[in-house]
Amino acid sequence: MRKSFDLYFASSNKNKYSEAKEILSKFKLNLGFFEFAPVEIQSNSILEIATKKSLDAYWSCKKPVIVEDDGLFIPALGGFPGPYSSYVFKTIGNAGILNLVKSKRNAEFHSVIAYCDGKKPVLFQGVIKGVISKKQKGNDWGYDPIFIPKGKTKTYAELDDKNTLSHRYITLGKFARWYKKSINN
């Protein structure tokens, strides 16, 4: 029998989907995966990138979808890599970021979720503050081995409870509360 999903997560990143699925299951939402490799627009705003991605994803999937756009912002580097986090990860990677960050190690992980069901996309934002670790610790994906969320001493990659506190958790929590209200109206 085909599984029925409440809505779809459109992405080419299975790691993000697995985390989003686990987080939304706590809100009793069943999230499907829609494999989607968007043409990302060049923009300094992850809100703008997510908006465009969600419209493209909806017209491709033709079902209610969410997309996520994230960025790691390091104030001492003028907010770099910010909206270019994906490109920077593919080019200089975590080792490159560690070479750039000196004494001021504060950082923020920003997440934007855009929901689209064919109408104007609805946006949700979440930010978690933290610091860049001195060395890579743990083996998880993306920037997980170098980001230590505020109040913790371990990187995202080393934490067992990342999905209860991350930037993704903060944003998806806002989305889930809104979505549940909007479908009950």
Q: What is the DSSP letter of 158?
A: G
Of residues 52 and 168, the one with the C-beta less far from ligand IMP = 168
Token code pair at residue 83: 């909206």
C-alpha 36 chain-centroid distance? 15
Q: Which of 73, 143, 169, 175 binds ligand IMP (CB under 6 A)?
A: 143
Of residues 29 and 71, the one with the C-beta less far from ligand IMP = 71
Q: Is 89 in the site for ligand IMP (CB under 6 A)?
A: yes
Residue spans of alpha helices (H) in the chain: 14-25, 46-61, 85-91, 93-100, 167-183
Q: Is 56 in the site for ligand IMP (CB under 6 A)?
A: no
Q: Is 86 in the site for ligand IMP (CB under 6 A)?
A: yes
Q: Which of 17, 23, 70, 172 binds ligand IMP (CB under 6 A)?
A: 70
Q: Is 142 in the site for ligand IMP (CB under 6 A)?
A: yes
Contact partners, residue 58, CB within 8 Å, separation at least 6: 64, 65, 116, 117, 118
Minimum CB distance to ligand IMP, residue 67 (Å): 9
Q: Beta strands 147-149 and 122-132: pairing type?
A: antiparallel
Contacting range for ligand IMP; rule: CB under 6 A; set: 25-33, 117-125, 126-134, 140-148: 140-148
Active site residues: 69
